[in-house]
Amino acid sequence: MPQRMPYVGGNWKMNTDLAGATALAEAVAAGAANLLSACQVVVCPPLTYLQAVGKALEGSAILLGAQNFHHQPSGAFTGEVSCSMLKDLGVGVVLCGHSERRHVMGEGDVLINAKVLAALEAGLQIILCIGEKIEQREAGQTDAVNAGQLAYGLAGVKPEQLARVTIAYEPVWAIGTGKTATPIDAQNAHRAIRNEIRHSFGDAAADAIRIQYGGSVKPGNAGELFSQPDIDGGLIGGASLKAGDFLAIVRAAAETGNA
């Protein structure tokens, strides 16, 4: 059985304010201190609070992540920020392909791939989010949708860059709805995703890559999800906004993950 350190991300989305973001980061850093040898953790605050959260995380091994960025290095892109600007603030991880960016902001596969390649070229780690909509699931297309988003998203990624890639399987119908894939359904999707990586990048890469589950993960369901053999932690939305809940989820990953 390959050793993969569990990995839990907090995606704060468009929530918190400056004081709340700082307090949340401080509480997570304090509470996670003795868990970080068994579970990697990243928090992704709104872009405007990255600097303050980075400061609050100083001295902690918790990674600082950004929810969004532009793939060009600089130029006339009003309202956008580049990878190097994020790196200036201590960002080490970026999310790519989140379902809200795909389905609410209208990002397509070509743009998502450009962002993946730009972030990896910039030396960042990425979390590439994929997942099917409810009608695709009901039509039996879950694995095909995931395989397609994976193939598009990772097109042109060099084998040596894959070590900086994490996949987050987030079924769209489970995000923010309180509905969670059953541990068995999630495991089946994760195994299929890992097999796609095996097909494209080989056994060692497939065995090493972390695949997070996302979609209404809570302290009460995290342990069962994370104990599945191909689920290596989670990407957490709503529950990442409460330090106690997020820390309970990190603890579940540290205790039941595949490390």
Residue whose CB is less far from ligand 13P, 239 or 253: 239
Check residue 176 for interaction with ligand 13P (CB under 6 A): yes
Residue whose CB is less far from ligand 13P, 209 or 249: 249
Check residue 235 for interaction with ligand 13P (CB under 6 A): yes
Active-site pick, 70, 71, 98, 190 = 98
Q: How far apart are CA 226 and CA 49, in angstroms?
A: 29
Shortest Å distance, C-beta 221 to ligand 13P: 11
Q: Is 190 a catalytic residue?
A: no
Q: How many chain residues interact with ligand 13P (CB under 6 A)?
A: 14
Shortest Å distance, C-beta 93 to ligand 13P: 13
Active-site pick, 107, 170, 190, 196 = 170
Check residue 171 for interaction with ligand 13P (CB under 6 A): no
Q: Is 98 a catalytic residue?
A: yes
Check residue 222 for interaction with ligand 13P (CB under 6 A): no
Instruction: Transcribe the chain into DSSP letters.
Output: ------EEEEE--S---HHHHHHHHHHHHHHHTTTTTT-EEEEE--GGGHHHHHHHTTTS-PEEEES---SSSSSS-TT---HHHHHHTT--EEEES-HHHHHTS---HHHHHHHHHHHHHTT-EEEEEE---HHHHHTT-HHHHHHHHHHHHTTT--GGGGGGEEEEE--GGGTTTS----HHHHHHHHHHHHHHHHHHH-HHHHHH--EEEESS--HHHHHHHHTSTT--EEEESGGGGSHHHHHHHHHHHHHHS--
Check residue 215 for interaction with ligand 13P (CB under 6 A): yes
Check residue 65 for interaction with ligand 13P (CB under 6 A): no
Shortest Å distance, C-beta 89 to ligand 13P: 20
Shortest Å distance, C-beta 3 to ligand 13P: 25
Residue whose CB is less far from ligand 13P, 57 or 239: 239
Contacts of 13 (CB under 8 A, 6+ apart): 46, 67, 100, 237
Q: Where does this chain touch ligand 13P (CB under 6 A) — which range of 24-32, 49-57, 149-157, 208-216?
A: 208-216
* Contact with ligand 13P (CB under 6 A) among 6, 7, 8, 11: 11
Check residue 233 for interaction with ligand 13P (CB under 6 A): no
Check residue 112 for interaction with ligand 13P (CB under 6 A): no
Check residue 245 for interaction with ligand 13P (CB under 6 A): no
What is the binding site for ligand 13P (CB under 6 A)? 11, 98, 170, 175-176, 214-217, 235-239
Q: Which residues are catalytic?
A: 98, 170
